[in-house]
Amino acid sequence: MLASAQKIIIDTDPGQDDGVAILLALASPELDVIGITTVAGNVPLDLTTKNARIICELANRSDIKIFSGCDKPLKKPLVTAENVHGKTGLDGIELPEPTMPLQPQHAVDFIIETFRNAPEKTITLCTLGPMTNIAQALMKAPDIATRIQKIISMGGGFFEGGNITPSAEFNMFVDPDAAKVVFDAGIDLTVVPLDVTHKALTNAQWIQQLRAFKTSVGEAVASWTDFFERYDKEKYGSAGAPLHDPCVMGYLIRPDLFTGKHINVEIETESPLTAGATVADWWKVTGRTQNAYFLNTIDRDGFFDLLTERLGRYQG
């Protein structure tokens, strides 16, 4: 790990794409994963937590501290996505049952304690799922808002609209109330929306590259991709599937591969029709506070070159 490595906490709801994001982070010396917190999202909390342990053991990193978090959104009933990720949330390949320990502390308390004890603005939060844990931490300990270096979140969409409803992306849709708490907290926030991740499409050649590694990580990522591609290909009619969550790590490691704009983004929480929509003032017509750096483009090939090189570092 580099001496200048960025300390990060990954808040996640694995999910195959979360798994690829975690594998990318753990293979990158630019990042120092000081903890993983799990949240209900793609599948219920017991499975997202089990899956986080499976993924860390796949990476041969049973040293990573994993904390289980919130099992339902702040107000709405939990909506999950087994139709995309399968019953286990990591369908596509059979992986060994995890044996690494789960930390006893609740994820929300871990987040609060970590930011209270660390020097100000030295740890970044990467959110890959519904923002419930982060919102609960901010509501329980508002003082940490000024101590968080920045938040990088996969979620939302503007030009790309939504993926679970016409206007809402899954992470924001599941817990729009939590997203509103985070977007209103005045924290340095970068949003990695569908506008970017829908350009980060997998393809058959990439899957072949992964299998050519002849490693357990290569085989797992190839099999996960084969599995979740089937849903996205049918839905979007595209030749591949969007790799949503790994774009968060890609941005942290190589921000030059992305472009965006500092704009105002509000979260719709009331309307039954558009709940979870990220109302992005891309053309700055409202004059509202610019509370987010909202990404819009990705160098797709540069990102996949980075991802493939890093996944290729795993042995065995």
d(CA 48, CA 50): 6
Tell me the pairing of strands 265-267 and 258-263.
unpaired
Helix extents (H) in 161-316? 170-174, 176-183, 194-197, 204-212, 216-236, 246-253, 300-311
For 308, phi then psi, to 5°, come to -65, -40
Interaction mask 72-111, ligand RIB, x per CB under 6 A: ----------------------------------------
* Binding span for ligand RIB by CB under 6 A among 68-76, 164-172, 280-288, 308-316: 164-172
Report the nearest approach of Ca ion to the CB of residue 15 (Å): 4
134 vs 263: CA distance, rounded Å: 21
**Residue 158 interacts with ligand RIB (CB under 6 A): yes or no:** no
Q: How far apart are CA 38 and CA 46, in angstroms?
A: 9
**Would you state the structure tokens that stand for residue 303, as one six-digit string?**
């990102």
Q: What dihedral do alpha carbons 233, 237, 239, 242 form, nearest 10°?
A: -60
Q: Report yes or no: 168 and 128 within 8 Å, Cβ to Cβ.
A: no
> CB count, 10 Å around CB of 68?
25
Write each residue from 23 to 62 as x if it is in contact with ligand RIB (CB under 6 A), else as -, in one continuous string. ------------------xx--------------------
**What's the residue count for the chain?**
316
> Judged by CB under 5 A, which of 8, 9, 18, 303 binds Ca ion?
18
CB 158 within 8 A of CB 263: no
Q: Which residue has the tokens 């993924």?
A: 55
Q: Which of 128, 134, 138, 220 binds ligand RIB (CB under 6 A)?
A: 128
129 or 218, CB closer to ligand RIB?
129
Of residues 175 and 245, the one with the C-beta less far from Ca ion: 245
| Site membership for Ca ion, residue 156 (CB under 5 A) | no
Is the CB of 263 or the CB of 307 nearer to Ca ion?
Answer: 307
Check residue 128 for interaction with Ca ion (CB under 5 A).
Answer: yes
Query: What residue 169 binds from Ca ion, ligand RIB, none (CB within 5 to 8 A, per partner kind)?
Result: ligand RIB
Report how far residue 311's alpha carbon sits from residue 217's, in angstroms, rounded to the nearest whole number.
7
Q: Which residue has the tokens 């959104």?
A: 73
The number of residues that bind ligand RIB (CB under 6 A) is 15
Among 19, 98, 129, 242, contact with Ca ion (rule: CB under 5 A): 129
Instruction: For residue 250, state whether it binds ligand RIB (rule: CB under 6 A).
Output: no
Q: Does 244 bind ligand RIB (CB under 6 A)?
A: yes
Q: Report, as residue numbers or ranges, the catalytic residues.
A: 244
Residue 19 touching Ca ion (CB under 5 A): no
Query: Which range in 15-23, 30-38, 108-116, 179-187 contacts ligand RIB by CB under 6 A?
Result: 15-23
Is residue 118 helix, strand or coil? coil
Does 195 help bind ligand RIB (rule: CB under 6 A)?
A: no
170 touches ligand RIB by CB under 6 A: yes
Q: Record the tokens describing residue 8, joined without a space.
A: 């990060």
Residue 169 contacts ligand RIB per CB under 6 A: yes
Enumerate binding residues for Ca ion (CB under 5 A): 13, 15, 18, 128-129, 245
